[in-house]
């Protein structure tokens, strides 16, 4: 549908940029001369940027409209990423901090674009919008594996990805009508940070386990395939694509699944799929079983954030943009220590242990599923 084109392009190009960077982390780590534990702490700089961006993300989006905010911040992220591939660790930390800062504002704006389409048209598009992120992950991971196999440097690859993102943003700017900026007066009495209410806290607990598994695959999935299974860059890229295929297929059918099965069943099915995938991944004996495992994990994590966004907009109080900022703030604070923790485990225990420690959190997501429908996890009572 025509109204799906702008968010589809934005999510797709954002994913290309993201996965192009993260699939080359082993090479970037080697160029900086650091171990996995130090890399985990370096990756922590993006959540710090997120933390500092969240006070203004919702307000910037309201002031300049979601369209202009998204089209300004995504190119800024793109221009930062080539530097991440060539700078020493100090420069990496600074640029990755800025990457997290601008990407946070973009995420709020992009979700507001999709939510606005749903509200105006009455048609669910949020999961499909995120589905194009997954399609971008698939295309990007396959291209990244091919380029790595051809010995294309991470800097050249990331420069190409950044150029693609900028062209996509120009296209979105050209084909979308100008939004009218709302005339709002700043409320000087409001706290800088939009604090989450009880509803948003429960939603965050519900998706926490699924979100950290998704992050673990981004951060350490390539390392696992290369070091535990001995896959070369091209094979690792193909196997990683299985994760993005599972995520993409689930998200592209997610709006239909939301209508047919409801959020509670989807959250529980997601948790079961992730748990099965992790168990299969850490016991994988070859590329086929690893590919199936990553596919299951991709299916499982696919709808976590779209369901959280939908529940936040439906059940939250106040402005949707500020509710989304509060959701992002809470998820960020709850996961901020995860990259260095997993990096420490990967360096000093094993990559297998890195994924096994996530299983209890996935069980919590399964138990908290009723929260997605506005109910208590134990007695199905309304909490709104």
User: Average pLDDT in the 82-103 region?
Assistant: 93
pLDDT at 2 over 70: no
In sequence order, the β-bridge partners of residue 375 are: 382
User: Average pLDDT in the 139-153 region?
Assistant: 85
Residue 41 lies in a domain: yes
Mention every residue, 6+ apart, whose C-beta is less than 8 A from residue 213.
Answer: 274, 278, 297, 300, 301, 355, 358, 361, 362
pLDDT at 183 over 60: no
Residue 184 lies in a domain: no
- The domain containing residue 99 runs over which residues? 2-177+194-373
Q: Where is mean pLDDT largest: 13-17, 46-50, 241-245, 311-315? A: 13-17
What does the pLDDT look like over 371-383, one tens digit per residue?
887 777 754 444 4
Asked if 246 and 293 count as a contact pair (C-beta separation under 8 A), the reply is no
CA distance 272 to 268: 6
Residue 366 lies in a domain: yes
Residue 379 lies in a domain: no
Report the CATH number that the domain containing residue 251 is assigned in CATH: 1.20.1250.20
For the chain, state the CA radius of gyration: 20
Q: How far is CA 282 from the centre of its chain?
A: 23
The more confidently predicted of residues 276 and 304 is 276
Domain count for the chain, please give it.
Answer: 1
- Residue 334 pLDDT: 63
Give the global pTM.
Answer: 0.70
Residue 48 lies in a domain: yes
> Which of 187-201, 220-234, 281-295 bottoms out in mean pLDDT, i.e. has the lowest?
187-201
Structure tokens at 44: 């922590």
What does the pLDDT look like over 334-372, one tens digit per residue?
666 676 788 788 888 888 898 999 999 999 999 999 988
- Residue 383 pLDDT: 41
Q: Percentage of the chain with pLDDT > 90?
A: 28
Residue 160 lies in a domain: yes
CA distance 247 to 4: 19
CA distance 111 to 116: 8
Residue 28 CB-half CA count within 13 A: 32
What does the pLDDT look like over 11-26, one tens digit per residue?
999 999 988 988 888 8
Confidence band, pLDDT 50/70/90 cuts, at residue 172: confident
Residue 182 lies in a domain: no
- Residue 328 pLDDT: 72
Confidence band, pLDDT 50/70/90 cuts, at residue 227: confident
Residue 189 lies in a domain: no
């Amino acid at each position: 549908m025509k109204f799906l084109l702008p968010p589809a392009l934005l999510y797709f190009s954002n994913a290309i940029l993201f996965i192009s960077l993260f699939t080359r982390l082993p090479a970037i780590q080697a160029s900086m001369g650091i171990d996995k534990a130090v890399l985990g702490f370096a990756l922590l700089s993006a959540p710090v940027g997120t933390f500092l961006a969240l006070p203004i993300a919702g307000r910037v989006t309201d002031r300049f409209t979601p369209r202009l905010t998204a089209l300004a911040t995504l190119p800024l992220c793109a221009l930062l990423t080539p530097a991440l591939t060539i700078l020493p660790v100090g420069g990496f930390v600074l640029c990755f901090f800025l990457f997290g800062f601008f990407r946070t504002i973009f995420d709020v704006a992009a979700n507001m674009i999709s939510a606005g389409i749903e509200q105006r048209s009455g048609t669910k598009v949020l999961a499909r919008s995120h589905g194009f992120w997954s399609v971008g992950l698939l295309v990007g991971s396959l291209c990244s594996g091919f380029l790595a196999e051809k010995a294309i440097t991470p800097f050249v690859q990331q420069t190409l990805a950044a150029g693609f993102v900028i062209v996509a943003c120009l296209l979105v700017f050209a084909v979308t009508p100008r939004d009218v900026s709302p005339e709002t007066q700043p409320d000087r009495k409001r706290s800088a940070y939009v604090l989450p209410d009880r509803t948003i806290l429960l939603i965050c607990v519900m998706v926490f386990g699924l979100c950290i598994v998704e992050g673990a695959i981004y951060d350490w999935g390539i390392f696992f395939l290369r070091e535990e299974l001995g896959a070369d860059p091209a094979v690792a890229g193909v196997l990683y694509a299985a994760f993005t295929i599972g995520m993409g297929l689930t998200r592209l059918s997610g709006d239909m699944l939301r209508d047919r099965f409801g959020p509670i069943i989807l959250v529980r099915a997601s948790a079961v799929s992730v748990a099965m995938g992790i168990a299969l991944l850490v016991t994988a004996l070859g590329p086929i079983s690893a590919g199936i495992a990553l596919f299951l994990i991709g299916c499982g994590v696919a709808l976590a954030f779209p369901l959280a966004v939908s529940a936040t907009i439906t059940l939250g109080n106040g402005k949707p943009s500020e509710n989304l900022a509060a959701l992002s703030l809470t998820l960020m604070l709850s996961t901020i220590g995860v990259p260095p923790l997993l990096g420490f485990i990967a360096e000093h225990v094993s990559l297998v242990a890195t994924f096994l420690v996530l299983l209890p959190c996935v069980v919590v997501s399964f138990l908290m599923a009723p929260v997605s429908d506005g109910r208590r996890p134990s007695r199905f009572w309304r909490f709104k």
